Structure 1
Amino acid sequence: MPAGTLITVAPTGAETAKADVPALPVSVEEIVAAARSCEAVGASVVHLHVRDGQARPTLDLGHVGELVAAVREATALVVQLSSGGAVTDPLPERVAVLEAAPDAASLTLGTVNFGDDVFSNPWGLIVELHTQMQARGIVPEYEVFDLGQLATLARLLDRHGLPHGGHVHVDLVMGVPGGMPGTTAALAACVAEVRSTLPAGTTFAATGVGRTSLPVMLAALSAGGHLRVGMEDTLTYAPGEPVRDNTQLVARAAGLAQIAQRPPLTPDQARTLLGIAPAGGAGTGTTPSPTDTGGAP
């Protein structure tokens, strides 16, 4: 692999209301347009949350499958589906989204306070998502909201084996009220744990929520990590300046990666890094089967 930076865009999320942030993409057409423009400026992975016709978060498989197919048809991006959904979603429905067959999916490694809510991720759910992804040929991105969740990942891999594709990739989610802070010290502690307790070759990305976005990006790049940005996590570009769109956030991340002399990876390079099979349907109007892609969330 060339030295480079994997940039994931998370364009929508499940927490922000369209009425409060009109620029937030929520329809299939809006999310596809955002994905295409972000790909053009350096994104290689898109992390998808799904909304229904009233812009409400949904795990309905009809809506989920429609969005996965549409993004796949319009872009070459790695399609990563959220298995977290909204904090109020029932656990069985979060597992059921794996039937939509994207290339990859998130897998959160523990329960965490999420502002005034609780994001529930008990051990049984973690194991079920991990083993279901193995069986379906899905590549997980392990979401870490606090240092102790890296110990959970080490235990998971020891008891249930490596993920599909053989490569372990974690995303350090920083700055959520209730999780670890978005600081260089917190990131350094996590990176030390990744390198001392997880398989050789494990890679990490970092997500800075809200005002921690920029310092987390700079710290991650300095430590050899990758980046996740997007309107799911950040709605202010600078003090007093709302984010215009997801492309603005990806372009900033790509510019910082260039300055660090680790330019953005292409989608094909991202697939190689993550252990995902080559794309079989981007731009062709066809949706590959899980067997063709090696991936579903």
Structure 2
Amino acid sequence: MTSTLITVAPTGAESLKSQVPALPVSLDELVTAAVECEAAGAAVIHVHIRDDDHAPTLDLGRLKDTVAALRERTSLIVQLSSGGAVTDPESDRLRVLEAEPDMASCTMGTVNFGDGVFMNRWEFIVDLHRRMRDAAIVPEYEIFDIGHLASLERLLSQHGLPFGGHVHVDFVLGVPGGAAGDAETVTAFADAVRRHLPSGTTFSATGIGRTTLPVMLTSLAAGGHLRVGMEDTVSYARRVPVESNAQLVKRAAEASALAQRPVMTVAEARVLLGIRG
């Protein structure tokens, strides 16, 4: 790749607003963060939402309002999380697609997630994959462990390519219970993508917490793309809290420029990922 796709994940479902005051949890805060992140170089926004008490929610009305607001104020590709929180039922996770985002996440297997379990049954994965294709929504296949890449190979072999025909995966590394967030893991995953998934498959990489920088730098060196944001880390450096999501996007853009892979525009990202017009 000659340019870098930057995805921002600004909120997530884990951090508490009371502990991370800069976390964007209201719709106004989220949209403001999105505007700032687009200006800093992001092309995709990976969205979790919160309720009035700042708790994670998959309320369909709020999701629709969020998608509409982001489209009104930005040109970002809107990617909704179909994972939600680890306690969300499958029915609510499937209903996310009714908010008509450009993209949605599709996690390729069950994984221990801290003290919880992020459950992704095979039947649920297949259903989500098919529904996204029928709704003209582009999936981002989220990979928490090496076996999830084998599951994706099986999914594509048995059930065909996603809408748009392009396969894009995101390595989510450093989660307690999942694969390590280090250079060796990124390299191994990238090699598996090239050996087992369709030609032209692209990948981005996310490093949780203190793994952010090694994962970012290795992904750039391996020809991959980046996901950053306060969903994944709330520390900019040791004992230095993140000030904003735009701060993390700006650092990713600067690293991309240093690697001679300038940030990809939203228009270029839409073509690459096969987003509907």
* TM-score bracket, shorter-length normalisation: over 0.9
Give the aligned partner of residue 202 of structure 2.
203
User: For 1:79-228, what aligned pairs fall within 5 Å after superposition?
Assistant: 79-228=78-227
Identity %: 62
Spell out the pairing of 1:231-242 with structure 2 (5 A cutoff).
Answer: 231-242=230-241
Corresponding residue pairs, total? 277
- Aligned-pair distance for 1:56? 1.1
Q: 1: distance between equivalents of 2:221 and 2:161? A: 27
Whole-angstrom CA distance in 1 between matches of 2:22 and 2:40: 18
- How big is each residue's C-alpha offset from its partner over 1:223-271, in whole Å with a ceiling of 9 and x where there is no partner? 0000000000001000110000101000000000000111111111110
Give 1:116 deviation, angstroms: 0.4
Residue 45 of structure 2 aligns to a residue in which SS?
Answer: strand
Task: State how 1:43-58 maps to structure 2 within 5 Å.
Answer: 43-58=42-57
**1:172-197, Cα deviation, whole Å (9 max, x unpaired):** 00000000001111111111110001
Contact 2:136 2:276 in 1 (8 A): no
* 1:277 shift after superposition: 2.5
Distance of 1:53 and 1:182 partners within structure 2: 33
Q: Secondary structure of 1:171's partner?
A: strand
* Whole-angstrom distance in 1 between the partners of 2:52 and 2:270: 32
Listed one character per residue, the Cα deviations across residues 137-156 of structure 1 (whole Å, up to 9, x for unaligned) are 00000000000100000000
Per-residue CA deviations over 1:68-112 (Å, capped at 9, x if unaligned) read 110111000000000000001011110011000010000000000
Hey, what's the Cα distance between the residues in 1 that align with 2:113 and 2:91? 20
SS of corresponding position for 2:79: strand
In structure 2, C-alpha distance between the alignment counterparts of 1:72 and 1:48, rounded to whole Å: 13
TM-score between both structures, scaled by the size of structure 1: 0.92
Partner of 1:39: 38
Q: TM-score, normalised by structure 2?
A: 0.99
Q: Secondary structure of 1:16's match?
A: coil
Q: How many angstroms does 1:52 deviate by?
A: 1.1
Q: Which amino acid letter does the alignment assign opposite residue 200 of structure 2?
A: G
Q: Let me know the Cα RMSD of the aligned residues.
A: 0.7
Q: Are positions 1:243 and 2:264 aligned together?
A: no
* 1:138 counterpart letter in structure 2: I
* Stretches (4+) displaced over 2 A: none
Unaligned runs of 5+ in 1: 279-297
The answer to whether the Cα contact below 8 Å between 2:173 and 2:208 also exists between their aligned partners in 1 is yes
